[in-house]
């Protein structure tokens, strides 16, 4: 009897595995992997979608370039994003599959129109990934996806690598679709996203950061202002600080090895944002002699540089009256009583905020070469 029960149990397990083990299985010979796509709006206010997809290995032909062998591109229009996707599927012999997509590029006109609505379809689609990077094209998304790839011959993969490897520069803010849609749902935060451009040779690169306010692309942070944003939001973990003083003949590069930022809000007559920034740096490159400066002076110069960079980001945010830092959400979460008094008029309150920035820098290493400073 015991053996019969074991046999029945074993059969039940086999049946369960056979019916549920591959419930979401997708046959590779019936799908086309989308690696990147762009959203543009044409002169007739139609939505234009550009899909960059991997070619099946058995569909390549001789005489094609390395990139042409790997990818093909489909462009299609529609009144809505969903409509354009369905129209594009008519030109593909296989189903478009978005689970391996890396980047979504919004053309400039699309970003100026209705980015929240345009991205809504992909936020809800079960096949789409919430980890896709979002980029804003300087002109059109189509020209970016048709351009040359870099080290990765597949352009969309190259862009994904550019964004994910932002840390060494400290000048790019990696934004995923989950980040930007969450910010768009906020009543106070203005979303941001990296801007992708083309150089003279037709290669893509990242430069500046787009500011989106009231569901419209309104302006940019330059690279230094982007660095300031990263300082304030505690997202800067590496980069280079260049210190130059022509009068003292100083030109020194410091490598950022660790940072930390803290926020505190003081509610008195004015609302004061107290920002504490800390940085550990290494002497990266001594391009000119340090004999004319003390170590304390170099620390002070770095601290002043960081403070100025942070203020540049604040000034640009004030110019557009755009809470790119998420201060409203921070007050809502950490100062609920005070938030109730100001939430209805947050836009005006944000423009009236006062700032106190305290910066502390510690030089951790001077490199392999003994550095001679001016005696204090």
Q: Which residues contact 261 (CB under 8 A, 6 or more apart)?
A: 231, 232, 233, 234, 275, 276, 277, 278
Give pLDDT, residue 11. 64
**What does the DSSP 8-state code read for residue 326?**
-
- Percent of the chain surpassing pLDDT 70: 79
Which residue spans within the chain are E strands per DSSP? 31-41, 47-54, 71-78, 95-97, 103-106, 133-137, 192-198, 204-213, 216-221, 239-245, 250-267, 271-286, 354-365
Average predicted confidence (pLDDT) for the chain: 84
The rounded distance, in Å, linking the Cα atoms of 217 and 110 is 9
The rounded distance, in Å, linking the Cα atoms of 30 and 53 is 14
Give pLDDT, residue 23. 43
3-state helix, strand, coil in the chain (%, to 5): 35, 30, 30
Query: What are the structural domain ranges in the chain?
Result: 29-56+70-221, 222-375
- Greatest mean pLDDT among 49-63, 193-207, 273-287, 307-321 lies in 307-321
pLDDT in tens, 21-37: 554 445 656 787 888 89
Residue 46: band (very low, low, confident or very high) from pLDDT cuts 50, 70, 90: very high
Give pLDDT, residue 245. 80
Identify the residue whose tokens are 């809502």: 332
How large is the average pLDDT for residues 268-289?
Answer: 86
Greater model confidence, 376 or 276? 276
pLDDT exceeds 70 at position 190: yes
- Greatest mean pLDDT among 82-86, 141-145, 363-367, 371-375 lies in 141-145
Give pLDDT, residue 229. 98
CATH H superfamily, domain 222-375:
Nutrient germinant receptor protein C, domain 3 (3.30.300.210)
Give pLDDT, residue 153. 60
Q: Which two tokens stand for residue 353?
A: 């905020």
pLDDT exceeds 60 at position 368: no
The rounded distance, in Å, linking the Cα atoms of 242 and 254 is 6
Query: Looking at 8-12, 14-18, 122-126, which range is the least confident one?
Result: 14-18
Integer angstrom CA distances of residue 73 from 35, 201, 347? 10, 21, 43
Query: Looking at 16-20, 77-81, 111-115, 220-224, which range is the least confident one?
Result: 16-20
How large is the average pLDDT for residues 294-319?
Answer: 96
Contacts 24+ apart (CB under 8 A), 313-319: 313/221, 313/225, 313/226, 313/227, 313/228, 313/229, 313/231, 313/232, 314/228, 314/232, 314/355, 316/211, 316/219, 316/221, 316/225, 317/190, 317/211, 318/351, 319/219
pLDDT in tens, 270-280: 999 999 999 99
The rounded distance, in Å, linking the Cα atoms of 56 and 69 is 9
pLDDT exceeds 70 at position 19: no
How large is the average pLDDT for residues 325-346?
Answer: 97
Integer angstrom CA distances of residue 202 from 43, 169, 186? 24, 22, 37
The rounded distance, in Å, linking the Cα atoms of 307 and 321 is 20
Give pLDDT, residue 137. 97
Q: Which residues contact 114 (CB under 8 A, 6 or more apart)?
A: 215
Alpha-helical segments (H) within 36-171: 66-70, 81-89, 108-113, 115-124, 141-145, 155-164
Nearest to 92 by CA among 14, 37, 139: 37
DSSP string, 265-279: EEESSSEEEEEEEEE
The rounded distance, in Å, linking the Cα atoms of 183 and 201 is 35
Residue 267: band (very low, low, confident or very high) from pLDDT cuts 50, 70, 90: very high
Give pLDDT, residue 15. 53
The rounded distance, in Å, linking the Cα atoms of 376 and 374 is 6
Give pLDDT, residue 342. 96
Assign 375 to helix, strand or coil.
coil
pLDDT in tens, 129-146: 677 899 999 999 999 999
Q: Are 356 and 273 in contact (CB under 8 A)?
A: yes
Its sign, for the CA torsion 333, 338, 343, 345, is negative
The phi-psi region of residue 124 (left if phi > 0; otherwise alpha if psi is between -120 and 50; otherwise beta) is alpha
Q: Are 212 and 218 in contact (CB under 8 A)?
A: yes
Give pLDDT, residue 329. 97
Nearest to 302 by CA among 346, 250, 343, 367: 250
pLDDT in tens, 201-253: 888 889 999 999 999 999 999 999 999 999 999 999 889 999 888 777 778 89
Give pLDDT, residue 309. 98
How large is the average pLDDT for residues 65-76?
Answer: 73
């Amino acid at each position: 009897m015991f053996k019969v029960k074991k046999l029945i149990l074993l059969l039940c397990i086999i049946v369960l595995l056979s019916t549920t083990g591959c419930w979401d299985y997708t046959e590779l010979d019936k799908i086309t992997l989308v690696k990147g796509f762009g959203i543009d709006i044409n002169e007739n206010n139609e939505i234009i979608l550009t899909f960059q997809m991997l070619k099946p290995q058995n569909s390549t032909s001789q005489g094609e370039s390395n990139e042409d062998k790997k990818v093909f591109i489909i462009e299609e229009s529609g009144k809505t994003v969903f409509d354009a996707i369905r129209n594009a599927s008519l030109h593909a012999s296989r189903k478009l599959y978005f689970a391996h997509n890396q980047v979504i590029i919004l053309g400039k006109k699309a970003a100026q129109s209705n980015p929240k609505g345009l991205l809504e379809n992909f936020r809800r689609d079960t096949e789409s990934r919430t980890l896709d990077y979002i980029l804003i094209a300087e002109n059109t998304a189509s020209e970016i996806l048709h351009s040359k790839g870099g080290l990765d011959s597949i352009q969309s993969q190259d862009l994904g690598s550019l964004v994910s490897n932002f840390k060494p520069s400290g000048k790019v803010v990696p934004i995923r679709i989950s980040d930007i849609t969450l910010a768009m749902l906020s009543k106070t935060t203005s979303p941001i996203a990296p801007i992708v451009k083309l150089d003279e040779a037709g290669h893509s690169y990242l430069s500046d950061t787009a500011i989106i306010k009231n569901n419209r692309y309104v302006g940019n942070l330059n690279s230094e202002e982007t660095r300031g944003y990263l300082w304030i939001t505690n997202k800067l973990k590496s980069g280079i600080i260049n210190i130059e003083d022509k009068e003292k003949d100083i030109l020194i590069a410091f490598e950022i090895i660790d940072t930390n930022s803290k926020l505190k809000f003081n509610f008195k007559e004015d609302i004061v944002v107290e920002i504490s920034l800390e940085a550990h740096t290494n002497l990266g490159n001594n391009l000119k002699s340090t004999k004319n400066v003390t170590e304390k002076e170099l620390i002070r110069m770095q601290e002043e540089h960081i403070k100025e960079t942070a203020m540049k980001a604040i000034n640009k945010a004030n110019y557009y009256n755009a809470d790119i830092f998420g201060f409203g959400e921070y007050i809502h979460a950490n100062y609920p009583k005070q938030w109730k008094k100001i939430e209805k008029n947050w836009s005006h309150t944000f423009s009236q905020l006062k700032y106190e920035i305290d910066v502390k820098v510690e030089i951790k290493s001077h490199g392999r070469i003994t550095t001679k400073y001016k005696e204090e």
